[in-house]
Amino acid sequence: MLSKTIEEALNNQIKIEAESSQIYLAMACWAEVKGLEGVAGFMYAQSDEEREHMLKLVKFVNERGGHAKVSALKAPDVTFNSFKDMFELLLKHEMFVSQSINELVHISLQEKDYATHNFLQWYVSEQIEEEAVARTILDKINLIGDDKGGLYLFDRDIQNLTVSTAAQDNTQA
């Protein structure tokens, strides 16, 4: 059984994951109308992934005797100054999500809810990967600069982007 404190904190994270999905959906739409098909595809996939993260939390809350709440969401920005600004926002947002997950882990330890603590470890690892992907993308964007040919290649290749992180390397050992 979840404590009210844990249930409330998890429901807040459900909202954050839902808003993340909406943010990335808005980014996908913006990229698509700008002709950045690869970036749009990447963002659509990110949006789907965030929704999966939300659903995983919903099911966990309900299975543990809580009640997952579906709440109103803050509307995301729908326009961006550049694709670089958009990816900088993505990194900033992922860092915010990481901070929120870390706070959840802290609350689970305070409440001595080790089942929730264990469940959240997947999110901790996932956030390491999400931030690494965003940083790798920004590194590539900085290499491109204002080169239109580089932007074309980046847009074409972003769908195939994979990042090996320390967390992934540890699971393969």
Annotated binding site for Fe cation: 17, 50, 53, 94, 127
- Are the CB atoms for 12 and 58 separated by under 8 Å? no
Give the number of other Cβ atoms within 10 Å of residue 45's Cβ: 13
Tokens of 17: 């994951």
| Helices (H), ranges, 64-113 | 83-110
- Do residues 28 and 155 lie in contact, with contact meaning Cβ atoms separated by under 8 Å? no
- Radius of gyration in angstroms for the set of CA atoms belonging to the chain, rounded to a whole number: 17
Contact criterion met (CB below 8 Å) for 70 and 15 = no
Which conformational region is residue 66 in: left (phi greater than 0), alpha (psi within -120 to 50 degrees), or beta? beta
- Sign for the CA dihedral angle at 3, 5, 6, 7 comes to positive
Which positions make up the binding site? Answer: 17, 50, 53, 94, 127
